[in-house]
Every structure is written in C-alpha cells, then in structure tokens.
Homo-oligomer: A and B are copies of this chain.
C-alpha cells in the first residue's frame, strides 16, 4: 500500500524558506503572491494491506519521527 504524509509548519511558526520563495517569485516578476509556506511530502511504500492498520502505523511514524509536533502539523493520505 502506498501512502503520502504531508508535514507543514503550524500557522504562526516563522517559515524562512517560504519567505525566500516568495521574495524570489517577486524578483522573477510574478506579482500577486500573498503568502508562501513550504512543507515536506513523504511518500511511503508499505507492505501492510489493511488501510486502518496502515493509517495507525503512519500516524505513529509521524508522532515519533516524521513530524516535529511542537511546530509542525501532519496529514496522512492513503493511495488506492
């Protein structure tokens, strides 16, 4: 089973990478960009076939390794 995990900074947490992208887009002539936030996407291939179990495992992985839950939110998406 394939899965995607999205890890993004919580609102209010400073995002220098996103600010740098926003500034560079302005320099390149792209107007009308109000805000940019950058996060991570992690694609996993799991041998688990039960979607409930897979989701539980993925949430556990996020809590323990993939996300820093103090400053980051995560979202798990199972692919068919």
Interface residues of A (CB under 8 A from B): 6, 8, 18, 21, 24-25, 28, 30-48, 57, 60-61, 64-66
Q: What is the oligomeric copy number?
A: 2
A34 proximity list for chain B (CB < 8 A): 45-47
Q: Is the CB of A35 within 8 A of B41?
A: no
B residues less than 8 Å from A39 (CB atoms) = 40-43
The answer to whether residues A41 and B44 also contact, given A61-B25, A64-B28 and a CB cut-off of 8 A, is: no
A76 to B5, CA, bound (A): 17
Question: Quick check: B65 and A45 within 8 Å, CB to CB?
Answer: no
B41 and A36 contacting across the interface, CB-CB below 8 Å: no
Determine the distance from Cα of A28 to Cα of B38 in the docked complex, in whole angstroms: 27
